[in-house]
Amino acid sequence: MSDEPVTRTELERALRFLNNTISQMRDELLQLGAQVVTLTRRLEEKGAVREEEVLAALPAAVDEVRVNDESSPPLRVDLRETLADKHTVESPPIPCAELLPLCKARCCTLTFTLSTQDLEDRQVRWDLARPYWNLRRPDGYCVHHETASGGCSIYQHRPVPCRTFDCRRDRRIWTDFEKRIPAPPQEDDVLVLAPRPSEDEVAENARARRNAMQVEDAALRFKRT
């Protein structure tokens, strides 16, 4: 047995495998819960059930349980669904270098989830205590934010949320973008807060979470060379 210490790459891969396994186990429990719900409903309605009836009603029940679970999220793995190569994603036409002295790179205090591509690139650091959210410093800024310049130390590898974020009409960043009036400083970390999602958004989040888990599972099972 080798006495060499575990590398960061090995540790991150092990943590990713563990976290993804936990997520899969949770999803299996949700499916079992959906089976119980379905069986209970049929028994109450008819007094007896047949297997084909349970199987026919199960998919809708699974979706219902997943949506209910999404609306009251516990501590778990969060992954952004990977739809395309992030390097091909276009950014809005915002002169960030020109605006940094005014906005102080407030967008770099936002929190968001990473994708499997981000994890595979091993450039973006994530919070080990809250997989897979971007890691921030004690001052609230992303760990990749450069204090001196205000820029990003991994700009070429930045995640999709960073590439697509449009601050121009975001009142957390600007009071008036056209007049270059930044939003006043906030005492509390309001930038991490998001409005309560609608029922449709909750359902979409549940679907996206399932798809992201499948992408991550495939990436872990078939290691890239």
Least confident stretch, 123-132, 139-148, 150-159 = 123-132
| pLDDT tens track for 85-94 | 999 999 999 9
Instruction: State the Cα–Cα distance between residues 34 and 97, nearest whole angstrom.
Output: 51
Instruction: State the pTM of this model.
Output: 0.60
pLDDT score for 5: 73
Give the pairing type, strands 181-182 and 174-176: antiparallel
Instruction: State the Cα–Cα distance between residues 94 and 106, nearest whole angstrom.
Output: 14
Q: What angle do CA 130, 128, 208 make, to 5 degrees?
A: 45
Q: Is pLDDT at 98 greater than 50 in this prediction?
A: yes
Q: Largest Cα–Cα distance of the chain, in whole Å?
A: 71
pLDDT top residue among 165 and 67: 165
Instruction: Please tell me which of 37-41, 77-81, 185-189 the model is most confident about, judged by mean pLDDT.
Output: 37-41
Q: Is pLDDT at 182 greater than 70 in this prediction?
A: yes
Q: Residue 64 corresponds to which tokens in the numbers above? A: 């219902």
Instruction: State the Cα–Cα distance between residues 161 and 92, nearest whole angstrom.
Output: 12
Q: Is pLDDT at 194 greater than 70 in this prediction?
A: no
Question: Residue 69: pLDDT band by 50, 70, 90 thresholds?
Answer: confident
| Strand partners of residue 174 | 182
How confident is the model over 178-199, as a mean pLDDT? 67
Instruction: State the Cα–Cα distance between residues 41 and 61, nearest whole angstrom.
Output: 11
Written as one letter, the residue type at 62 is V
Question: Residue 196: pLDDT band by 50, 70, 90 thresholds?
Answer: low
3-state DSSP call for residue 167? coil
3-state DSSP call for residue 174? strand
